[in-house]
Amino acid sequence: MQNASKKTSWLVLIAIGMGVLMAMLDVTIVNVALPTIQREFHTNYITTQWVVNAYTSTYAISILLISKLGDMYGKKLFFILSLLIFTTGSLLCSIAPNSLILNISRGIEGVGGAGILGLSMALIGDNYEGAQRAFILGIWGSIVGFGTSIGPLVGGVLVQYFNWRSIFLINIPIGILAILIGIKFITEKHYEVDHHIDILGMILSTSMVFCLVFGLLNKENNINASWLTPNICGWIISRIILLIIFILWEKHYDHPMMNLDLFKNSSFVGSCIAAFTITLGLFSFFTYLTILMQDYMQYSPLEVGLQRLLISAFPLFLGAFVGFLVGKIGSRIVTTGSLLLEALGVLSMNLMLGYHLNWTFLIPAFIFMGLGNAGINPAISNAALLNVEPQNMGMASGINSVCRQFGNCLGIVVLGLIVGDGYHHSILKHLGNTDISQAIIQAGPFSGMEMAKKFHNIPGITTIIRHAYYDGIHELLWISLILFIVSSILCWFLIKKAPQTDIKKS
């Protein structure tokens, strides 16, 4: 910020940072509360899972629309409105009398979260310049990584010592404070922007994201179903058709919603690939890591949260330094290096995990993953805004966030299929194709320990089922290793190798 005092500069960051922390926490904080919510509302697993899906789906569907409206009518205005929507949604969640109201309220939260994350990067672009921007984006990235990683621990503490409603109540004072500080101190730069409303473009963009997310959710809710099942395949094919129509429309319409020239910027494309990879390969994996440690290693939710601090603490403490580093050497080296650190993490976990029940064998992997997580978000956030016209920063930020969310949605499904495949083959290998093995396979890897208790009279059944889940995790880790290596190579060639003029400015 050119003329603002250091105090004002930090207050801007505090307002943006509190909003981002809330939005990222709520992606994962609710997971540990699902069993408690299910018991209180007497619902089944699929209904309860919508507490998570309602947030992520409305988040993904609305983010491009809100980002575009922010570019057109004011990023600050829509950021503050998003904070208000999110805080209101949190209040409604905390007093929800049943699962239906809770899921609707989570959807409201998701809309607010989309605006918060989608516009936060763009507002940093407006409020800070040069090396200071890279430094602040480093802190922003540390908040994103820390918020997502720390969610299970915060959720575990609140559920264990208070109740599940407290995980939503804590957002209310934070949201109100962020709104008050944001109204007074956040500024934005005004550029000449085309105010024509591309109604068809908005409808197409929202519809294609909805079709993809809904298709993936159907697959997630029935992980053993074929991809060719109509309520899965149909939605995904519809998304592809809508995407083609959207691209053709945006290319030929005089006042498009999305400037497709953004994708001519190789650094922007590289940042989107890295954002997709880190959420698919790391954040989606956290779901299966939690099951491994909680169900199969028999650690409590609170213990798992504390152990995972080895991953989540690195972004908190290294974010500002990484931002400074990005300002000095550029996003290319930091992004590529961070992805390679993630590759080392999954390789280390694959080699060290074996069939151990002690989590300490995971410590080297956690350290590599934590270091990679600390570096990746600041680097790709900076790369996403390199050489992007100021009037397109909101949309650039929104697209980058969509890539993150798409990686998370796809990752939950794809990684689940990989784990399920390894689990399936291992069960058949040890038990043969019997009624019992088919019952265990149909129940799925998340219910493995329950099935071990059910068939406890079979010698060694607990070990067989535990090893089957571990086999699935090993299979997943090999795929993740390839993903991180390929992504690191692509980012090395796509992201500009030196700090840009924009970064070098003081």
Q: pLDDT-based confidence at 224, cuts 50/70/90?
A: low
Domain 6-187+255-423+471-504: give its CATH code. 1.20.1250.20
Tell me the HSE value of 411 on the side-chain side, using a 13 A CA sphere: 26
Structure tokens at 381: 């956030």
**For residue 348, what pLDDT is reported?**
95
For residue 1, is pLDDT > 80? no
- Of 122-136, 247-261, 420-434, which has the strongest mean pLDDT? 420-434
pLDDT at position 46 is: 64
**Element holding 204 (H helix, E strand):** helix 199-221
| Stretch 42-66: mean pLDDT | 77
Per-residue pLDDT at 55 exceeds 60: yes
pLDDT at residue 223, rounded to an integer: 63
Give CA–CA dist 343/354, Å, rounded. Answer: 18
Count other C-beta atoms under 10 Å from residue 358's C-beta: 8
The arithmetic mean of pLDDT across residues 459-481, rounded, is: 92
- Render pLDDT for 366-406 as a digit per residue (tens, 0 to 9): 999 999 988 888 888 778 777 777 767 777 777 887 788 77
Residue 427, classified by CB atoms within 10 Å of its CB into exposed (0-12), middle (13-18) or buried (19+), is buried
List phi, psi (to 5°) of 49: -60, -25
What is the pLDDT confidence band of residue 190, given thresholds at 50, 70 and 90?
low
How far apart CA 82 and CA 179 sit, in angstroms, is 10
pLDDT for residue 446: 75
pLDDT of amino acid 88: 96
pLDDT at 435 over 80: yes
Q: In this predicted structure, what is the pLDDT of residue 342?
A: 96
The confidence score (pLDDT) of residue 4 equals 44
Confidence of residue 203 (pLDDT cuts 50, 70, 90): confident
Going from the C-alpha of 229 to that of each of 15, 127, 186, 338, 441, the distances in angstroms are 45, 48, 48, 38, 19
At 114 the pLDDT is 87
What digits encode the pLDDT tens for the residues 225-249?
A: 777 888 888 988 998 999 899 889 8
Higher local confidence (pLDDT), 327 or 487: 487
pLDDT per residue over 265-279, tens digit each?
A: 888 899 999 999 998
Q: Specify whether the CB–CB gap between 158 and 305 falls below 8 A.
A: no
pLDDT surpasses 50 at 24? yes
Please list the alpha-helical segments (H only) found in 253-308. 266-278, 285-291, 301-307
Judged against a pLDDT cut of 70, whether residue 221 lies above it is answered with: no
Average pLDDT, the chain: 83
- 400 close to 380: Cβ distance less than 8 angstroms: yes
Q: What is the pTM of this model?
A: 0.78
More confident residue, 447 or 282: 282
Each residue's pLDDT tens digit, 60-114? 778 878 887 887 788 889 999 999 999 999 999 999 999 889 999 999 999 999 8
C-alpha neighbours within 13 Å on the C-beta side of residue 115: 24
> Could you tell me the CA-to-CA distances from 216 to 103, 121, 185, 282, 334 in Å, in that order?
18, 27, 40, 18, 32
C-alpha to C-alpha distances, 383 to 24, 34, 266, 269, 326, nearest whole angstrom = 20, 36, 9, 9, 9
Tally of residues, the chain: 506
Q: In this predicted structure, what is the pLDDT of residue 383?
A: 82
Residue 502 has pLDDT above 50, yes or no: no
Tell me what the mean pLDDT of segment 186-203 comes to: 73
pLDDT of 491 reads 93
Q: How far apart are CA 65 and CA 18, in angstroms?
A: 22
Give the rounded percent of residues in the chain with a pLDDT score beyond 90: 26
- What average pLDDT does range 443-459 have in this prediction? 83
Q: Of 4-8, 248-252, 370-374, which gets the smallest average pLDDT?
A: 4-8
492 pLDDT exceeds 60?
A: yes
pLDDT value of residue 371: 92
Amino acid at residue number 278: I
Give Cβ neighbours of residue 368 (< 8 Å, ≥ 6 apart): 341, 342, 344, 345, 348
